[in-house]
Chains A and B, each alone.
Chain A
Amino acid sequence: MTLRVVRGGAPAAEAPATAPDGARAYVELAGVAKTYRRDGRQTHALERVDLAIRAGEFLAIVGPSGCGKSTLLRLVAGLHLPTSGETRVAGRIVDRPQTDLGIVFQSPVLLDWRTALANVLVQVELRGLDPRAYRERALNLLAQVGLKDFADRYPHELSGGMRQRVAIARALIHDAPLLLMDEPFGALDAQTREEMRLDLEALWLATRKTVLFITHSIDEAVLLADRVVVMSPRPGRIERIIDVGLPRPRGLPARRAPEFVQAAELITGIFLARGVLHGAGGETTQDQNP
C-alpha cells in the first residue's frame, strides 16, 4: 500500500494520484505547491499536487500552457524547490538538483562547438567520468536514434529533429533510471513528431526507464503513456489521471484503436469543460480520428 497520509490532510478520495498497490513508486510528489514571487506579486504555478510515478512507468502530463507542467518537471529534477510539500525520488527527498536522471528540453540545447558524438559525451564529461570509456556506448545510442552517420556533424549541420535525437541520446548515455522530457517534440513539425514518438516508444520498450513526459498534445500523451495526468490551468492542479490500456508496441495503428479514441475524447472533454479548448469539434488535435 503506497497511499500516503499527506501533510495538510489530503482526502483519501485523491487515491488515483498515488500508485496502486504492489507497484513501487519511484517518484512521489506529496502536497507539492509552488508559488513564484516577483515584485511582491505572487503567481501560483502549482497548487497541492499529489502524484506517484511507478518505477518503469511511462507517465505523461498533458495540459495547456501555464498549467505548471514544466514547473512540475523542474521540481522532480530538483531544479526548483517546492514552496510547500515534498518531492521524493527513489525514496530520497529532493532538496537539490538531482543527478541520477536524464533530461530533455523543448529546445535541444546542444553545445554548438561539439559534434553530435561529443554532445552526447558531454554528459559523462561533466560528471567527471572518462569519455573514452563511453565512446562505444555513445555511438550505439546515436545509431539507435537513427544518427549512425551523423556522429561527427556539428549541431548547425543537423535538422531540428536530428538535434533533438542527439539530446535524447545525451539523456540516456549515463543510463540513469529516470528520464524527464519537457515537451521534447514541441518544436518539431508534425511528421518528425510522429517519427520521434515511434522511436521513443521503441527506445523506452528496450530500456524500461521511468519516464516523465510533458506535452501539450493530447494525442502524443495518449499514444506514449501508461498513464496520462491531465492538468488544468493556473493555478496548476491535477484534474484527472487516465489509464491508457493500449497494448504495446503501439506504433501507428494505435490511432485507430477504440481505447485511444476514448482516452483522447475524455481529455478533450475535460479541456472543453475547463475552457482550455473552445468552439465546435474538429479543431482539436484529434483530426485524424475516424
Chain B
Amino acid sequence: MALASRRGRAFVAWLGHRGGALTIFVLLFVAWEAAVHVFGIKEYLLPPPSKVWSEFWRRHEIVMSGAWVTTQEILAGYALAVVVSIPLALAVAYSRFMENAVYPVIVFLQIVPKIAIAPLFIIWFGFGFTPKLLLVFLLSFFPIVVSSIAGFKSADRDVMDFARTTGAGSLTMFFKIRLPQALPHIFTGLKVGAALAATAAVVAEFVASDRGLGYLLLQYNGQLDTPMVFATIVVLSLIGLVVYYAVEVVERIAIPWHVSQQATAKDATL
C-alpha cells in the first residue's frame, strides 16, 4: 500500500516535471511560428517552424544521408575514445610510474583547445573519414579518461581497510569494490564525452569535407537556405541526444543503485 502510493506520487511528480518542459517547448514553437507571421520576418533570417519542416521533408534524403555519415564518425570516434581511455585510466590509477609519467601529460594536453588541432589533422590525414574520427576521439577522450581516473582512485580509505581485513586478493577487491565504486564517475565522463562527440564531428566537417551534416550546413548557409540550416541543426541535435540517452540507458542498466540513489537525494531536497 505504502509502496504503491509512493510510486503513484513519484509518477505524478514525474508528469509534473516533464509535462512542464513539454508545454514550454510547444508554446515556444507556437510563439515562434506566430511571431514570424505577425512581424513579417524574412524567411532567410528566421523561417517559421512549419517552413523548416516542409523543406526538410522535401529534401530529407540528402539530410539523412549526411546524417548517416556524421553518425558513423561520432560512433567510431566515441567508441575509440572509450576503448582507449578506460584502460589508460586503469593504468594511471594503478601504476605509480604511469601516474607520474602519463598523468601530467594528460592534464597538460587537456588544456590545449582540441578544436584548434582539426586543421592539422587535415594536413596529416587528408579529407576523408580519419581526421573526423580522430577529432571526435580527441574531444571525447579527455573527459572520459579524467573522470575514470578519479573514479578508480575514489575508493574510500576505510572501505579499503575493511577489505584488507578480509584477506581478499587485489583482483577480487577490484571487481567487488573498486570497479563498482568507479562506475558512477566513469559514466559521468562517458556522458560528457558523448555530448562533445557530435560537436567534434561537425567541426571536423566544417574544416574540410565533402559530405556529412557539417558539410551540408556550410552549403545551406552559403546559399542562405536558412530553413535547411535549421533542419540540419535539428537533425544534428537529435543525433547528439540519442547518443547521450543511449549512454544514460546503459548507465541505468549498469548502475541502477546509483541512479535511484540520486533520485532519492532529489526527492529529499524537493
Contact = CB atoms under 8 A, between A and B. Distances in A.
Most B C-beta atoms less than 10 A away, residue of A102, A123, A126: A126
A74 B162 CA distance: 11
Contacts of B172: 126, 128
Contacts, number: 64
Interface of B is mostly: helix
Max count, chain B CB within 10 A of own CB: residue among A99, A154, A156 = A156
Interface of A: 74, 77, 79, 97-99, 101-103, 105, 107, 109, 111-114, 122-123, 125-128, 154, 156-157
A109 B156 contact: yes
Contacts of B167: 97, 99, 126-127
B158 A126 contact: no
B161 interface: yes
Contacts of A74: 161
Report the 10 A-B pairs with minimum CB-CB distance, sorted nearest first: A126-B166, A126-B168, A99-B167, A97-B164, A113-B257, A156-B261, A105-B158, A109-B158, A109-B159, A113-B180
Given A113-B180, A125-B176, A127-B168, A103 B162 contact: yes
Contact of A113 (B156, B173, B255): B255
Given A125-B176, A154-B257, A111 B164 contact: no
B54 interface: no
Contact of B261 (A97, A112, A126): A112
A127 B158 CA distance: 17
B163 interface: yes
Contacts of B265: 156
Given A112-B257, A126-B173, A157 B264 contact: yes
Given A79-B161, A126-B166, A154-B261, 7 more contacts: A77-B165, A97-B164, A103-B162, A109-B156, A109-B158, A128-B168, A154-B257
Nearest to A113: B257
Interface in B129-169: 156, 158-159, 161-168
Contacts of B180: 111, 113
Interface centre among B180, B255, B257, B265 (most CB of A within 10 A): B257
18 contacts: A79-B161, A79-B164, A79-B165, A98-B165, A99-B165, A99-B167, A103-B162, A105-B158, A111-B176, A122-B176, A126-B163, A126-B166, A126-B168, A126-B172, A126-B173, A126-B176, A127-B168, A154-B261
Given A112-B257, A154-B261, A123 B166 contact: yes
A48 B260 CA distance: 49
B211 interface: no
Interface of B: 156, 158-159, 161-168, 172-173, 176-177, 180-181, 255, 257-258, 260-261, 264-265
Given A125-B176, A126-B172, A127-B167, A109 B264 contact: no
B156 to A, nearest CB: 6
B267 to A, nearest CB: 11
Question: Secondary structure of the A side of the interface?
Answer: loop
A111 B178 CA distance: 10
Nearest to A101: B165
Contact of B161 (A103, A126, A154): A103
A156 B264 contact: yes
Nearest to B156: A109
Contacts of B176: 111, 122, 125-126
A255 B164 CA distance: 38
Nearest to B264: A156
A99 B158 contact: no
Nearest to B167: A99
B164, B166, B172, B255, most chain A CB atoms within 10 A: B166
Nearest to A129: B166
A171 to B, nearest CB: 9
A101 B164 CA distance: 11
A279 to B, nearest CB: 33
Tell which of B156, B261, B264 has the most Cβ of chain A within 10 Å.
B261
A157 B201 CA distance: 42
Contacts of B173: 126
Contacts of A105: 158, 161-162
Nearest to B265: A156
A79 B157 CA distance: 11
A154 B260 contact: yes
Contacts of B181: 111-112
A103 B177 contact: no
Contacts of B165: 77, 79, 97-99, 101-103
Contacts of A154: 257, 260-261
A112 B265 CA distance: 13
A77 B173 CA distance: 18
Nearest to A157: B264
Contacts of A157: 264
Contacts of A77: 161, 165
